[in-house]
Structure formats: C-alpha cells, structure tokens
Chain A
Amino acid sequence: MKRIALLILSALLFVSCRTLPAINSALPQAAQKSLTCPSPFLKEPYRLVHGIETRMAGDTAGAIIGITVADPATRFVSCAIMTAEGMVLFEADAQAVLKVKRALPPFDSNDFAQNMINDIKLIFFAPEGKIKARGILADGARVCRYQEENGEWIDVAERQPEGIEIKKYSSYGNLKRQIKLNRTAENPYQNIELQAKELFDYSLLMTLIEAEPLEGELKTEKAKGDEE
C-alpha cells in the first residue's frame, strides 16, 4: 500500500514539475534517505560586504558595494547598496515585515526591495520548505529539492569540484534564479554568481570584501531597534 501511495505521489510530483530537472530515483530508498543535503547556508549571524558587478544582456552595467547582515535563526535581514564613492542607494530591513529605509531610483520600487530580500534569503538561508526529493542529477550532482509554502521549488545541488548551485523555480517549474557559490576553503560566499530570469534577465557577480560573525552584536542592535 505504501508503495502505491509513493508511486502516486511521485507521479503527481512528476506532473506538477515536469520542467524540473529529473532526480535519479534509481537510488535505493535507504541510500536516498542517507544522502546528506548540501548546506552552504549561514549557521550563525553574519555581516558580509561584497563588491557587486551587475550585468544585463551579458554587458557590464555597473559596480556597487552590497552590505548584508543576516541571522539564520530569526531569518532577519538588513542590507544596503552603495556606490564606490560611498553614496547609499538602498537600505532596508526585513524579518516578518519589509522596511525600506532609503531607496533612490532605480532602486525605489517595491518589487526591487522584495526581490532583493528574497534573493538574499535564497543565498544565505536554508530553504524553509520541506524536502520533496533527494538524489543525484543527470550530471552527477548531489541534490536536495525543497518546496516552499508558496509552491516554489528550490534545488540545492553540489558538484565537485565546482561548488554549490542553488536554483529556484516557480510552482510551474520555470527557472527564476540560479546561484553559483564558487566555494573556497575560507568562505563559501567568497564568489557568488546570481542569474535572474525576469522580464529583463540580469546577473550579479559578487566578490567578498569582508565577512564577520556577529552573535552578540546583532542581538544588541535588534534590541535597540525594537526600543526605537
């Protein structure tokens, strides 16, 4: 009976995400369960500063500096974008609610702020959804597939020696984001490449400038913020 239920579930899964890459289900069930999911995500609060090169249609469009404070336990994110000259273009906080503190054009649309926070969470936080499948992709990558509450799919795959790849698909299986973490021994976030599939596709090449853990400091900052 269990096998039939599993078969039906697999069939439904296959139909609902027919454009998602196939995960090798030939692995024995025990082997699937024991397969460890790649997890490059933050384990503690961190501040990261990246140089970010933006590209549209393959051409370099600009270079900015991105500052991210992220706490995986509370999923709190604080972020800022500024020019090399030090001009702050965008600043926002998000936990349950998105709070934009500063947004100069073209960074002043609600969509931009929400997409940016979503991208930061996708890069730095483990998916919130449940694991729906795990196994091996056709190219040999070890992968875990999550489904979020809103129906979106997230694949976290690891290839050797390339590194980790995170892909987000719509609930219909359309690729929305592709993130490559070219990990080094020092920090998995040393080099990040994000490709966004939107009305106008774009990509971000992020190079780590500095990173520091902030366990105590973030609690103090948040307490101050709550008091304000």
Chain B
Amino acid sequence: MKKKFSIFLILLLFCLLPSGANADNFEQMRKDAANIKTVQSRFTQKKQMKILSRPLVSEGRFYYSAPDSFRWEYIKPLKSIVISYKGETKRFIMSGGKMVEDKSGGVQAMRIVLSEVVNWMSGKFDQNPSFKASIKEGTITEITLIPVGKDMAGMIQKIEISVVKKSMAVKSVKIIESENAATIIDFRDVEINKTINETVFQDIE
C-alpha cells in the first residue's frame, strides 16, 4: 500500500510544477524549470467515481520552495496537511478539533515522494521510466503521461496536465484511474517566485 500510496502522492505533487509551457520540448522545459524558486496556489480537487452521483469536492492550497520544501494542504472537507522541510516530512490530520501528527505509513511514503519531487522540480518530466510522456502545444499546453510499468496496473490509466501557455501556470491535472474514476485538480491564483515565509513549511498553523 505504501508504494502505491507513494505513487499516487507523487502524481498529485506533479501538479506543483509550472511546466514551462513555452518550451517546444522537454529539454527546454528542463531549462525553464531551473528558474523556478517558489510556487504557491489554491486548488479544487474533484473526485469522480461511479458510487458518487456528483464529484466529491475538496479545497486546498500548496506551497513549494526550491530545493525541497513543500506544503500540500486540504482545507475541506477533510483537513490534512503534509509539510516537508530540510529532509523531514510530516503529515497532520484533524483529530478532536486539533491537528495531530499522522503516525501511519503515509509519512514514510512521503519520504519516497520527496526524491521524485526534486527530480521533477528540475524539469525532468520525461525521465521517469514508469511513464511515457508526450506534449501537445497550443494556447493550453497538454502533457500526457501514460504508465508503462506494472506498478500502476489497475490504478492509473493516464494523466493529463494542462498548462496556460501565456502565464506558464498549471491550469489542471486529471488523473484517470479507470473508466469510472478520475481525480481532477484545478489550480487558481498560481504565483511563481513570490517569497514564501519558511514557517509555512515548518508550522501547521
């Protein structure tokens, strides 16, 4: 479970990446990504499943600071926060009206995630052997990742990432798990290279 959970979190954290939409190819994207020092945004996550008549909507926000600090936070309906700072990753969940540290395996999973995130922050979109990556340029640049290994068999069919070419901001990420299930994350208020106080990655308040 830890491995699959890690992969899933990796896919979510993939959304952190402003992907350098002006790039003609992945090599150019790697160069563009080198200029990214911080990213912050709000997001809306919509979970679609056959068992749900309408998507289950979650709201949250994320922060990233190079080289390896991030905060991935859900505000509703279920509060949870993952923070990573100087190699230490912690997950917090709401319990009895206050945030407490999650002692389950999710924290271990995040350590694995982190090394992958660092790779992607370097713009290495197409260097994960678990995915075949393709890019389609337009007003909205679309990056498609298709899993090639067995790790994600029955778990992920495809990932589609949309990037606004003009602003170079990630617009949405769609993780298609099966014919009847998908996770769609829409980003808004994306700010790149705006100063983020370090306490954001250390303090859960």
Q: Which residues of A contact B (CB under 8 A)?
A: 47, 49, 51, 53, 59-63, 65, 67, 69, 78-80, 82-89, 91, 102, 104-107, 209-210, 212, 214, 217, 221
Are A105 and B181 neighbours in the complex by a CB distance under 8 Å?
no
- 28 examples of A-B residue contacts, CB within 8 angstroms: A51-B78, A53-B94, A60-B93, A60-B95, A62-B93, A62-B102, A63-B80, A63-B93, A63-B95, A63-B102, A65-B78, A67-B49, A67-B52, A67-B56, A78-B51, A80-B49, A80-B51, A85-B74, A86-B12, A86-B45, A86-B175, A87-B4, A87-B5, A87-B8, A88-B181, A91-B51, A209-B77, A209-B78
The interface residues of chain B, by DSSP majority, are classed as mixed
Q: Bound state CA distance, A49 and B53, in angstroms?
A: 12
Q: Are B1 and A62 in contact (CB under 8 A)?
A: no
Binary CB contact string for chain B from 108 to 130 against chain A (1 if under 8 A, 0 otherwise) = 00000000000000000000000
Q: Is the interface of A mostly helix, strand, loop or mixed?
A: strand
**How many cross-chain pairs have Cβ atoms below 8 Å apart between A and B?**
85
Q: Within the assembled complex, what's the spacing in Å between the Cα atoms of A209 and B76?
A: 10
Interface: B34 (CB within 8 A) = no
Chain A residues closer than 8 Å to B102, beta-carbon distance: 60, 62-63
A87 contacts across to B, CB distance below 8 A: 4-5, 8
User: Do residues A61 and B52 form an inter-chain contact, with CB atoms below 8 A?
Assistant: no
Give the shortest distance, in Å, between B53 (CB) and chain A (any CB): 6
Closest 7 CB pairs of A and B: A63-B93, A86-B183, A105-B1, A60-B95, A87-B8, A62-B104, A209-B77
CA distance A106 to B1 in the complex (A): 7
Is the Cβ of B9 less than 8 Å from the Cβ of A85?
yes
Q: How far is A80 from B103 in the complex, measured between Cα atoms in Å?
A: 23
